[in-house]
Structure 1
């Protein structure tokens, strides 16, 4: 039986272009995001989550390692697929997250990682979530996909 995914790393930045800082534990507020992060208090972009598995796929396309802190995502989980469908729920530690949209890789990645990184991360750059229930998230916390949205008639 495969072990559940766990939080491999946590990163945040106080402002848009500042370097990401590694953290062992962060406080997450419902409706606001990670305390101390540049997106804390924004409307929907509270927490970004990516998978090490997706970063490894991007590295294979890119031809060299894609370090998790340089992708500018907040949480990197050890393995598995991060839900992308709006409304999908993810539980990490005490925190309940709801998927808002795919986190599109930005041009800044070509500056921080190297030319071609943005393209290698396309469809592999994780998901933007809003925080429904706050709490703490720590490296090593289990990650559980709670549900997916109901199929839409059509």
Structure 2
């Protein structure tokens, strides 16, 4: 199933900003996290990201989010999709539908191609929202994003992605 989508935002963060108590606020980023293009390595993640080549995050190296999930919160002003710190923010496909249910043995694979050739991903568990969402977006955002917080993936092939039009193809 091939679908035309838009890559709305790409996020690469060398540090974990959501540590400690949400009441204390996020840690500052040493550099801007928004990117126009990213480099992905098979089995490792996004070059420069905090989860790159981290064995413990092998099945969650890259996170995806459908921007419609944020828009459904109905905030008075449009929320910056990079605030949720999902690596790849899309418009045009319900990415949460690819998340594997608990205990799944098989995982769905999909490709994303923004013009430099397809990159294949394997979808794993949902990227569940945490209490930080209430701080960086709005009170109640954590509850509003339950079941719509995105999906954690493993990159199966290497390649590059950039902001703009793209094609998403669900393989299985």
Same fold by TM (over 0.5)? yes
Residue 48 (structure 2) aligns with: 36
Matches within 5 A, 1:57-72: 57=72, 59-60=73-74, 65-72=78-85
Residue 90 (structure 1) aligns with: 110
> Normalising to structure 1: TM-score of the pair?
0.84
Matches within 5 A, 1:1-154: 4-17=4-17, 18-19=28-29, 21-42=33-54, 43-57=58-72, 59-60=73-74, 65-82=78-95, 83-85=98-100, 87-93=107-113, 94-148=118-172
In structure 1, runs of 5+ residues without a counterpart are 149-154
List structure 1 runs of 4+ shifted beyond 6 angstroms: none
> Normalising to structure 2: TM-score of the pair?
0.76
Partner SS state of residue 100, structure 1: strand
Tell me the number of residue pairs that the alignment of Structure 1 and Structure 2 aligns.
Answer: 144
CA RMSD of aligned residues (A): 1.9
Shift of 1:141: 4.6
Partner SS state of residue 10, structure 1: strand
Shift of 1:6: 2.2
Change (3 A) 1:132 1:141: farther
CA distance in 1: counterparts of 2:123 and 2:33, whole angstroms: 24
Contact 1:51–1:80, Cα closer than 8 Å, also in 2:
yes
CA distance in 2: counterparts of 1:99 and 1:29, whole angstroms: 16
CA distance in 2: counterparts of 1:96 and 1:141, whole angstroms: 17
